[in-house]
Amino acid sequence: MSRRTRLVAATILVIAVLVVADALLWRWVSQELQSGFAAWAAAERAEGYTVTSGAARTSGWPFAAELSVSDVSLRGPLGDLPIDAAWTAPSVQLRITLLHLRTLSVAILGDQHLRIAGGIDLLFTAETERLTIPLQPGAPANSAALEVTQLRASGPLNGLTIAQLRADTRLRPAALQGEPAVSLNATATGIALPQPPNLTWPLGPGISMIALDAALTGPMPRSPVLITRATGWRDGGGTLEVQHATLQWGPLDLSGSATLALDDHLQPMGAATAKIRGYIATLDGLASARIIPSQAAMAAKAVLGLMSHTPQDGGPPEVEVPLTLQNRSLSVGRIPLARLPEFSWPDAH
């Protein structure tokens, strides 16, 4: 056998071994995806949810293991609220590339329904809706990244669209006092608001951007009763720390930070610092829509006018002001701006 023939034979053997190894790896990862989906469904059922799904199909070889599950449905309480809800999607695709075995990608395909008790049926779809979850051997996942493009809603939210939404979250259920139990970094751009009959949005029909970088400090009590959990969270010194928030809506350009908590009556309280541009047109719009009293808007404009300055890059005046929320009263500096309605906890008696 010539040297060239031996080289060709060795190359073919190496390729064959790689193909077999890749096929075995693909088969193992595919089985892990099926086992993982079954374990997730079992865990949800143990929490009182109803999980159903249709046929499952594996694919993706040679570069990835994919599990496509049809007609996925999840029914049960809506988060921590005592409200029954049902979410359905025609197809959910789980994918792990064979070169990145510790990253799970979950894509939701087709029109989704969120049906809430009382006859509310929210229909929404997206061009892309993908959840990326880093996997940890022997431990549950504690972080995820969501990316959504061209989200469109119909039904009660008909007309709502979001051009792009990105969110990163991290969970630490065993967090102690002062430690972040949940952290969230999210940005949404190109938001067109729904247009229900006889409603005009005070600052315009579209929001350019909403951004939030926040952390919920612990501890997080595990009681199934929401008000008990809220009480334990408050008594343990729990706070919502908003490191940075941005809202660009019509004339309003707002950015700032805040610290929020619950008072003795389990009502939100806290303090914030906000940098505001376009406050004159914003206050006029809120007063015209009767969201705030005209006299409060006039007083706020007078005070903010004294505190404002013109930015170096030009544009409308901007002002940096302290905001406080106490006893359900929202104030700018010392000027009461609005009285918030009392929040009634679902399981309070």
Q: Which two tokens stand for residue 31?
A: 């089985």
Q: In b/e form, how buried is each residue of 301-322, taking b as 16+ CB within 10 angstroms?
A: bebbeeebeeeeeeeebbbebe
pLDDT tens sequence for the chain (349 residues): 566 676 766 677 777 777 778 788 889 999 999 999 999 999 999 988 999 999 999 999 999 999 999 999 999 987 666 678 999 999 999 999 999 999 999 999 999 999 987 778 999 999 999 999 999 887 788 899 999 999 999 888 889 999 999 999 998 877 777 788 899 999 999 999 998 888 889 999 999 999 999 999 877 777 777 888 889 889 888 899 999 999 999 999 999 999 999 999 999 999 999 999 998 899 999 999 888 888 888 888 888 888 888 877 777 788 888 889 999 998 877 778 788 888 888 765 4
- Confidence (pLDDT) at 161: 97
Q: What angle do CA 135, 140, 143 make, to 5 degrees?
A: 60
- Global pTM value: 0.85
User: CA-CA distance, 222 to 232, in Å (whole number)?
Assistant: 9
Q: Which two tokens stand for residue 2?
A: 């010539």
Which stretches does DSSP call E strand in the chain? 50-52, 56-59, 64-77, 84-97, 103-109, 112-116, 120-134, 143-154, 161-171, 180-192, 206-217, 240-249, 252-262, 268-277, 318-326, 329-332, 335-339
Q: Which two tokens stand for residue 62?
A: 């040679």
- Confidence (pLDDT) at 348: 54
What are the start-end ranges of the H helices in 159-292? 226-235, 279-288
Amino acid at 258: A
- Confidence (pLDDT) at 167: 97
Residues 6+ apart with CB under 8 A from 7: none
- Confidence (pLDDT) at 3: 67
- What phi, psi does 60 have (nearest 5°)? 100, -15
- Confidence (pLDDT) at 93: 97
User: CA-CA distance, 274 to 251, in Å (whole number)?
Assistant: 15
User: CA-CA distance, 21 to 62, in Å (whole number)?
Assistant: 10
User: CA-CA distance, 46 to 163, in Å (whole number)?
Assistant: 36
Would you give the end-to-end CA distance of the chain in angstroms? 89
